[in-house]
Amino acid sequence: MGEITFFLGGAKSGKTKAALAAAETFPAPRYYLATAQPLDDEMRLRIDRHKAERGPDWRTIEEPLFLARALAEAREDSVVLLDCLTLWLSNVMGRTPDSYEAEPILSQFDEFLDLAKKRPGPVVVVSNEVGGGIVPLDPLSRHFRDLSGLIHQRLAEAADNVTFVAAGLPLKLKQK
C-alpha cells in the first residue's frame, strides 16, 4: 500500500512548498487535488499562479467537495497531493444544510481516508492548523475549529508521516 504523508501548519507557513517537494520525489504523473474555488479575482489569480508553479508534470483535479471521488480519478500508482483539507472542510460546511451535524462531514472524510489507505500510490495532504489561536466567539467558527481538529487527529493517526511546518521550517512529528 502507498503511504500517507500529512503536512500541517499555519497560513503561509511553507507547508504546501514542503508538500510539493515531498510529492516531487515520486515519478510523474503527479496529481494535485485542489479544493479551492475561484470565487473572486484574487483567488483566480492565486490558483493560476499555483498551477504555473507546479509545472507540466502535474495534473490538476479541481474538486471542492467530494474528495473520495476525486482521489479515485487519479492513477492508482501515482502520487496525489490534496491541498487543502481545511478549505475542503469550509466548502463542505458552507453547503451542508445543518453544518452542526458533524457525523455526515466526518463520514465523508473517512471515506476519503479509507480510499487513501487502500491505494497503492502515495497520498500527501496539506491542512491549516487552526486550533492554536484564541477560542472563536461564534458557534459556527468554534464548530469549524473542532471538526478540523477531529479530522486532523484521524488523519495523523492513519498517516505514515506527519510534519508540522512553521516559518518554512519542517518539524517531523511522526515518521515511518
- Give the confidence band of 59 by pLDDT, cuts at 50, 70, 90: very high
Q: State the pLDDT at residue 50.
A: 87
pLDDT at 97: 62
The pLDDT value given to residue 101: 79
Confidence label for 55 from pLDDT (cuts 50, 70 and 90):
confident
Q: Three-state DSSP class for 39?
A: coil
Gap between the Cα atoms of 91 and 88, Å rounded: 5
State the pLDDT at residue 28.
93
Complete edge-to-edge strand list for the sheet that includes strand 161-166: 58-62, 30-34, 80-83, 123-128, 4-9, 161-166, 169-174
Cα four-point dihedral sign 58, 61, 64, 69:
negative
16 phi and psi angles, rounded to 5 deg: -70, -40
Please determine, for residue 1, whether its predicted confidence score (pLDDT) is greater than 80.
Answer: no
Lowest mean pLDDT among 5-9, 43-47, 71-75: 43-47
Output the pLDDT for position 99.
63
If one counts the domains in the chain, the total is 1
Average the pLDDT over 75-92 and give the result: 96
Can you tell me the distance from the alpha carbon of 159 to that of 170, in angstroms, rounded to the nearest whole number? 16
In the block, cell 478540523 appears at 148
CATH number of 120's domain: 3.40.50.300
Task: Quote the domain boundaries for residue 160.
Answer: 4-174
Q: Has 50 been annotated as catalytic?
A: yes
* Cα(146)–Cα(163) distance, integer angstroms: 20
pLDDT tens for 117-128 read 999 999 999 999
Q: How far apart are CA 158 and CA 153, in angstroms?
A: 9
Whether the CB-CB separation of 148 and 8 falls below 8 Å is answered with no
pLDDT at position 166: 97
Average pLDDT estimate for 36-49? 90
| Active-site entry in 10, 47, 50, 96 | 50
At 98, the pLDDT band (50, 70, 90 cuts) reads low
| Percent of the chain whose pLDDT exceeds 70 | 98
pLDDT band at 172 (very low <50, low <70, confident <90, very high): very high
